[in-house]
Amino acid sequence: MTKKTVRKHFEFYGEVQGVGFRWICRQSASACGVTGWVRNEYDGSVTLELQGSEEQIAGVIDMLKKDSWIHIRHMDVREAPVDGEERSFRVRY
């Protein structure tokens, strides 16, 4: 049975810059088999989009929450349109 592909847009607040957040995102996305992107924002937050099954996306978020350097105080999440052309995960600058 094929899992439904979804895309989620996250905004993270807390100690999320300067702690390896983007690197952990890239490693976690690869381990969980998801695509998308991550970017530091000027206000100190981090924006992340993930595309895959609900379970795969949850796996990435679990890895971020378990990291000892990352301290997420608040996380906003919303559904986003699936990008049928996306084939990888990347860090945006």
What tokens does 22 get?
Answer: 């983007």
Output the pLDDT for position 1: 55
Catalytic residue among 22, 26, 39, 87: 22
pTM above 0.85, yes or no: yes
Overall CATH class of domain 6-91: alpha beta
3-state SS string over 18-78? CCCHHHHHHHHHHHHCCEEEEEECCCCCEEEEEEECHHHHHHHHHHHHHCCCCEEEEEEEE
Active site residue 40: yes
Average pLDDT over residues 55-76: 97
Active site residue 39: no
32 with 50: CB under 8 angstroms?
Answer: no
Output the pLDDT for position 2: 65
Q: Domain spans of the chain?
A: 6-91
* Tens-digit pLDDT profile for residues 9-47: 999 999 999 999 999 999 999 999 999 999 999 999 999
52 with 5: CB under 8 angstroms?
Answer: yes
**Alpha-carbon gap, residue 76 to 93, rounded angstroms:** 21
Output the pLDDT for position 3: 87
Catalytic residue among 7, 39, 40, 90: 40
